[in-house]
Amino acid sequence: MHHNFRVAGSEFAPGRPLVIAEIGTSHEGDVAKAFDLVDAAAEAGADCAKFQCVFAEEIVHPNTGSVPLPGGPVPIYERFRALELDADFYAAVKERAEAKGLLFLCTPFGLRSARLLRRLDVRAMKVASPELNHLPLIDELASYGLPVLVSSGVSTLADIERALKRLACPVLLLHCVTAYPAPAEEYNLRLLAGLSSVFGLPTGVSDHSADPILVPSLAVASGATCVEKHICLSRGDPGLDDPIALPPADFATMVKAVRRAAELPAQATVAALSDRYGPEIVEAVLGDGVKRLAPSEAGNYYRTNRSIHALRAIKPGEAFSAENLALLRTEKVLRPGLGPELLHAVLGRVARRAVPSGEGVVWEDVGDLQR
């Protein structure tokens, strides 16, 4: 099996899994709070502190409207705009993480954020689930030659394969259920071994379920080389993911459980968790190992991932170009467009009808090549 993952001079495997504290944007732009979160992650025993490098225009269109998030509906473009920070912020939190002995990891969402992180000389990159089909971003990261962690929530095997074909660098594939919180019994952890053997890669879990022990421990018993979970200072904090994140004491509980599962034979972990949670629950979390969209996330397919959107209103007869199209997340209100793999087929063709600003571009919008 293909279990080992090397990053920044350290080697991780199911007997020594990489534990990622996903801080994301819960610092709310406050560097002191970001330092507190890094310190909490280090103290809880994490190996890595992970952030997100947000520029709103790289992720969604201003007309995206509200998105249902753990704390309630949020006008997402405006909220992302408020979370935009300069390179100095990321340099400072990277320095803090490394001073604490942690790997610094940060998710880019487009070429601008990827290049900002590259200039900071990061040691690895992360692709979030919705960007698995953001092919220009994948190609940009591939050109860096750094290890890449790839999340695969709301994705099919074909989506995963298309992204991995473009990455000729060390990859750690993270299985994920993109729902907040995700039902533990949808995690289907027997999939980890299958994904590992199909793609020849180490696998892990990006866990959004509520319990600090159940999914993380069973993931390690199922061969996970990595466990990623959200951390917060308090579930009452205003960060986008804070309501489903683990406060420091719970995160430390998770780390202990993960380290213990890494030392024990898989059967011993399964038996102990069956005693604690009941064998039916444990069997449900392990699942059947068949790759499918989990029920809680299936409705988001085509919506959280990227598609071709009109950056502004496009008139009939106007040519589609890099100036008026972008690969964005659709979310709930707008219409999903064609997949990013079709961008080259759309560029240079003329619009057969008006495309409103922000809407996804579909085949009915696409006419002949511009004369």
User: Are 151 and 171 spatial neighbours (Cβ–Cβ below 8 Å)?
Assistant: no
What is 5-297's CATH superfamily?
Aldolase class I (3.20.20.70)
The better pLDDT of the pair 323, 239 is held by 323
Residue 359: pLDDT over 90: yes
Residues constituting the chain: 371
Amino acid identity at 360: G
What value, to the nearest 5°, has the Cα angle with vertex 254 and ends 9 and 247? 105
Residue 303 has pLDDT above 70, yes or no: yes
Who contacts 347 (Cβ-Cβ below 8 Å, separation ≥6)? 320, 321, 322, 325
Q: Which of 65-74, 267-276, 344-353 has the lowest mean pLDDT?
A: 65-74
pTM for this prediction: 0.96
Q: How far apart are CA 310 and CA 356, in angstroms?
A: 7
Burial (CB count within 10 angstroms: exposed 0-12, middle 13-18, buried 19+), residue 322: exposed
Local structure of residue 170 (DSSP, 8 states): -
Output phi, psi for 89, to 5 deg.
-60, -50
**Distances from the Cα of 138 to the Cα of 39, 142, 264, 303, angstroms:** 31, 6, 37, 19
Average pLDDT (336-359) is 97
- Give residue limits of the domains in the chain: 5-297, 306-369
Answer yes or no: is pLDDT of 203 > 80: yes
Q: So what's the pLDDT on residue 67?
A: 86
pLDDT at 371: 82
- Residue 122: burial class (beta carbons within 10 Å; 0-12, 13-18, 19+): buried
For the purposes of burial, counting CB atoms within 10 Å of the CB of 103, is it exposed (0-12), middle (13-18) or buried (19 or more)?
buried
| pLDDT tens string 30-43 | 999 999 999 999 99
User: Mean pLDDT over all residues of the chain?
Assistant: 96
pLDDT in tens, 123-178: 999 999 999 999 999 999 999 999 999 999 999 999 999 999 999 999 999 999 98
Distance of alpha carbon 103 from alpha carbon 82, whole angstroms: 26
Do 306-369 and 5-297 fall under one CATH topology? no
- CB 91 within 8 Å of CB 120: yes
Question: For 319, which DSSP code?
Answer: B
* pLDDT, tens digit, 9 for 90 and up, residues 232-259: 999 988 888 988 999 999 999 999 999 9
For strands 103-108 and 125-127, give the pairing.
unpaired
Q: Determine the Cα–Cα distance for residues 104 and 126; give it in Å rounded to an integer.
A: 11
Angle at 339 between CA 335 and CA 340, to 5 degrees: 120
pLDDT at position 1 over 60? no
CATH number of 306-369: 3.90.1210.10
How far from the centroid of its chain's Cα atoms is residue 173's Cα? 11
Amino acid 370: pLDDT: 87
Q: How far is CA 125 from the centre of its chain?
A: 11
Q: What is the mean pLDDT of residues 180-187?
A: 93
Return the pLDDT at 354: 98
pLDDT at 274 over 90: yes
